[in-house]
Amino acid sequence: MKIEKILSAGEITDLAKKRFQEERAIDHLEGWFLAKEIMRECDREYKEEPDCIRIARTLVTVAEKIPLWLSDYHVFAGTQDDAFARSYALINPAFSVDSFTGYCDPAAVFGDIEPIGDITQERIEDLKGYNIDTEFSRALCGAYDKAGEDTSEAIFFIEQVTGHLIPDMRPVLRIGVEGLKRQIKERQEETCEKKRVYYEGIDTALDAVIVLAGRYARLAQEKAEAAEGRDRERFVIMAETLGKVPAHGACNLYEAIQSFLLMWQVMCLEQTPNPYAFSVGNADRIFEPYRLAEDTERDMAAALLKHLLVFYNVADRSWAISQNLIIGGRSLAGEDMTNLTSYALLDAYYDMNLPQPILSVKLHKNTPDELYESLGRFLFTPGCLTPSFFNDDSVFEILTDRNKVDPEDLEDYSVAGCQEPLIMGKDNGNTTNSWLNMAKVLELSLNGGVSTISGKKFGRSNEENGYSTELDLLRNIRTVFYENLEWYVDKMTMCANAASEAISLLQVPFLSSLMGGIESGVDVRDTKVQGTKYNGSGCLIHGLSVVADSFAAIDTLLDERPEDAGRLLEALRDDFRHDPEMRQYLLKAVKYGNNIAKVDDEAAEIAGRVSDLVASRKNYLGNPFRADWASPSTHLLYGYWVGATPDGRKAREQLGYGIDPLYGEAHSGLGFRMMSNMKLPFDKMNGGCASHLGVNPNYFRSESFEEKGIEFKNKIIAPLFYNPKKEGISPFYLYVNVTTPEMLRKVLENPKKYAPGGVYIMRIHGTFVNFLDLSPDIQEDIIKRLDMESTSM
């Protein structure tokens, strides 16, 4: 019996929409807490076992004991609800910039659950106390102790991450868990004792998904027995399918999606709470062979895939954020690789318009117009999600030259988290391991190592740096800045590596089975032996435009008013309160983003030099850190800790986003902004980069969505990604919000009129979210960064 034989595409879609509304009604998440309690019991029961065996047996026990349910609207079994807490700051209505302290506290998640039912405050505090007193918590706190006060004002920041990862589900979809187990057995027989033990851990961990499938199958059978007609048949199909997958290979699209979801559920449970932003990879290529196997029609494929999308939305605010799904792209030979599943996924996204998962699209010079036409509806429907865009032609070159990716793996690059290019199933990039705030380093460099925000002394004084006068300091500000930056980068990488050492204590044998662990016999988090084919650590770099504009303004002052060197520094310390004239003078200096060679070249010099500095630092395995010029709303958070800067920016104001000009400073239109952008050394941004355009829809005059999609290609994508005047590597990442500040103000003032369903999607860095879910600080940031003068046509 096939699902297509009992339900139409429209009926399957109706179930998906009801399932989403059911999920959005959940205003509490405690599955992760119950899982952590089970894990504590297992820590004691299996304490004599090797870590990988203890963790694997624990995962199986969690799969056996975690409460499960199926609703009347499920077409597939599975959920992410038990892996996430209601934590993520940017979609937390209580979030404010001044209260954000980062994700440093390993026990902070226990503040994200309130007593409910028999989960009492005493029970919460008891489990919190246990988790504080673990080897991992002590090691992580030790990493932050090494950072000292430097993270308190966001000079740099570190995270305990495996990093955003992209597991490769294709082997398990093809041969099933039993096939993976056969591979493990073959490897065990020909390796050393240490690896044999680890293989036993992987093998045991894989049992967890078999346990979960069996429990869901019994629930589905119970639902079938209590139902009638087609509902009964639907649950019978679910129960029968769960008896086959993921134990064995999938034979059609329905089976492939079901297998995929259960594998994903267990992968997330292994790292509960709040696993580190797993991404899907090229979903169209993953699922197309199974659609093709029975020639499933586009509308039916789209209907089934809508349930896949609903799975990624957790509770009332879709808390499972930064999970990326990508479509499209090119082959190594340059041929287009879009397929019918690509378009079915686009249909599913457009109809559902959900906050998660993130939709990304690979483009290249040979992308067919049909794809751009299909994208037009997303770009020009108010409140609809807009995809991220990636330039395959550039990414292939960057990954080859900088990340040393083998040619046969290039087609398998996908996007992890927001915008980080990684190889699916083979690349542990630790992408958000470290964060660098160049603007704060500049502030300290100008003020003798003292913060103008707090008065704390962080770095070397002017005298210690060898400069006795303020004029001398300004004349040598680049030297001081780069010397200080190097010192902070050294400290940052040391602390980031310590955080990686801490997280390595929590092995992940299930995840490792999808990340090359069956080939290597090594945990993906191992910091002594490399368990994935590719490895690096990420550094997200903030403040490019502020530093470039500041250097240009200092140069102008030294040329025109050198006697005001002291006055400038005093005005910065005072946040221009008593010297507004100095601020106006600085604001009039040339700014990046207006096609002015002096400052554009400065930005390019900074980007190239700092990328090289970051790449010269090695992670725990001796691999380079990867320069990532992105700022996922941290341009707002980190700017809060930066005093006034010589570009005229006031204290605590946001920094420029990613590689973009500071808001309000690029006022010459999109053409000039793109010319400035083309100066940047994208070949060195191998960890990623981010750029946002706020686009006024009134510039697009075509009648239909399809025609507007082609117009968007010609007016935005082609000049940016494929500009013949660009020397070297072209830009490779862009996202847009096609709207105006006035429109968003109307949405906030009258959400019932402009978002009657309660969802109005906007982009926020590499993810899109429900604009109405955001905190007021982030809503205002999105409105401000639309910056319509910078994109006027």
Helix H, strand E, coil C: the string for 53-69 is: HHHHHHHHHHHHHCCCC
Express each pLDDT in 270-326 by its tens digit: 999 998 789 999 999 999 999 999 999 999 999 999 999 999 999 998 888 889 999
Q: What is the pLDDT of residue 164?
A: 87
Are 355 and 769 in contact by the 8 Å Cβ rule? The answer is yes
- Computed over its alpha carbons, how large is the radius of gyration of the chain? 26
Tokens encoding 291: 């659609």
Place 769 in a pLDDT band, splitting at 50, 70 and 90: confident
What is the percentage of the chain residues whose pLDDT exceeds 90?
Answer: 85
Place 104 in a pLDDT band, splitting at 50, 70 and 90: low
Average pLDDT estimate for 386-401? 96
Are 257 and 304 in contact by the 8 Å Cβ rule? The answer is yes
Express each pLDDT in 182-216 by its tens digit: 999 999 988 899 999 999 999 999 999 999 999 99
* Secondary structure of residue 554 in the 3-state scheme: helix
Average pLDDT estimate for 508-537? 97
What is the percentage of the chain residues whose pLDDT exceeds 70?
Answer: 98
* Secondary structure of residue 688 in the 3-state scheme: strand
Place 102 in a pLDDT band, splitting at 50, 70 and 90: low
Higher pLDDT, 470 or 418: 470
pTM over 0.75: yes
Q: What is the pLDDT of residue 103?
A: 61
Rounded to the nearest integer, the mean pLDDT of the chain is 94
Express each pLDDT in 576-586 by its tens digit: 999 999 999 99
Average pLDDT estimate for 154-181? 93
Place 509 in a pLDDT band, splitting at 50, 70 and 90: very high
Give the ranges where 108-153 is alpha helix by DSSP (H): 121-132, 135-147
Cβ-based neighbours of 606, under 8 Å, separated by 6 or more: 438, 544, 547, 548, 551
Instruction: Report whether pLDDT(100) > 70.
Output: no
Q: What is the pLDDT of residue 95?
A: 61
Count the helices and strands in the chain (H runs, E runs).
32, 17
Least confident of 32-46, 106-120, 495-509, 568-582: 106-120
Instruction: Report whether pLDDT(137) > 90.
Output: yes
Tokens encoding 386: 């807009």
Average pLDDT estimate for 687-714? 95
Average pLDDT estimate for 671-696? 95
Give Cα 621 to chain centroid, integer Å.
23
Least confident of 48-52, 111-115, 483-487: 111-115
Helix axes 565-573, 580-587, angle to 10 degrees: 110
Instruction: Report whether pLDDT(101) > 60.
Output: no
Are 202 and 510 in contact by the 8 Å Cβ rule? The answer is yes
Instruction: Report whether pLDDT(490) > 90.
Output: yes
Cβ-based neighbours of 632, under 8 Å, separated by 6 or more: 418, 540, 690, 764, 765, 766, 767
Are 677 and 629 in contact by the 8 Å Cβ rule? The answer is no
Q: What is the pLDDT of residue 92?
A: 63
Tokens encoding 362: 């690979």
CA dist., res. 431 & res. 440, Å (int): 22
Which residue type occupies 17? Answer: K
Which DSSP string do the residues of 208-240 spell out, in sequence order?
Answer: HHHHHHHHHHHHHHHHHHH--HHHHHHHHHHHH
Express each pLDDT in 449-486 by its tens digit: 999 999 999 988 988 888 889 999 999 999 999 999 99
* Of 221, 286, 214, residue with least CA distance to 253: 286
Place 609 in a pLDDT band, splitting at 50, 70 and 90: very high
Beta-bridge partner residues of 428 = 535
Neighbours of 421 (CB within 10 A): 29
Q: What angle do CA 540, 541, 546 make, to 5 degrees?
A: 150
Tokens encoding 513: 């089975």
